[in-house]
Amino acid sequence: MNFNNVRFLISAFSLGQLPEPIYPDIAFAGRSNVGKSSLINRLVGRKNLVKTSARPGKTQSLNYFLVDDALYLVDLPGYGFARVSRKMQSSWQQLITGYLSGRRTLACVVVIIDLRHELKPLDRELVDWLRHHGVAFLPVYTKADKLSKNRQTSHASALDAALTITPGERIIFSARTGQGCRELQSRLALYHESW
Ligand SMILES: Nc1nc2c(ncn2[C@@H]2O[C@H](COP(=O)(O)OP(=O)(O)O)[C@@H](O)[C@H]2O)c(=O)[nH]1
Ligand SMILES: [Mg+2]
pLDDT, position 78: 82
pLDDT, position 80: 54
Ligand 1, residue 41: give the atom nearest the CA: 15
The CA 163 to ligand 2 mean position distance, Å, reads 24
* Residue 37 · residue 92 · CB < 8 Å: no
Per-residue pLDDT tens over the stretch 142-154: 999 999 999 999 9
Average of pLDDT values for 31-43? 94
Does ligand 1 have an atom closer than 6 angstroms to the CB of 51? no
What is the number of other CB atoms lying within 10 angstroms of the CB of residue 156?
A: 20
Q: Which residue has its alpha carbon closest to ligand 1 atom 10? A: 35
d(CA 149, CA 151): 5
Average of pLDDT values for 97-109? 96
d(CA 158, CA 171): 14
d(CA 49, CA 153): 31
Using the CB atoms, write b or e for 70-107: b if 16+ within 10 Å: bbbbbbbbbbbbbebbeeeeeebbebbbebbeebeebb
Q: What mean pLDDT value characterizes the chain?
A: 91
Q: Which residue has its alpha carbon closest to ligand 1 atom 6? A: 35
The CA 39 to ligand 2 mean position distance, Å, reads 9
* Residue 73 · residue 44 · CB < 8 Å: yes
The CA 65 to ligand 2 mean position distance, Å, reads 14
Does ligand 1 have an atom closer than 6 angstroms to the CB of 116? no
Residue with the bigger pLDDT between 51 and 67: it is: 67
Best of 38, 40, 63 to mutate for ligand 1, by most ligand atoms within 8 A of CB?
38
Q: Which residue has its alpha carbon closest to ligand 1 atom 13? A: 35
Q: How far is CA 108 from CA 51, 59, 116, 139, 158, in A?
A: 22, 24, 24, 10, 23
pLDDT, position 94: 78
Q: Which residue has its alpha carbon closest to ligand 1 atom 14? A: 35
Cβ neighbourhood burial of 51 (10 Å; 0-12, 13-18, 19+) = exposed
Lowest-pLDDT choice from 18-32, 75-89, 118-132: 75-89
CATH 3.40.50.300 fits 6-193, yes or no: yes
Boundaries of every domain in the chain: 6-193
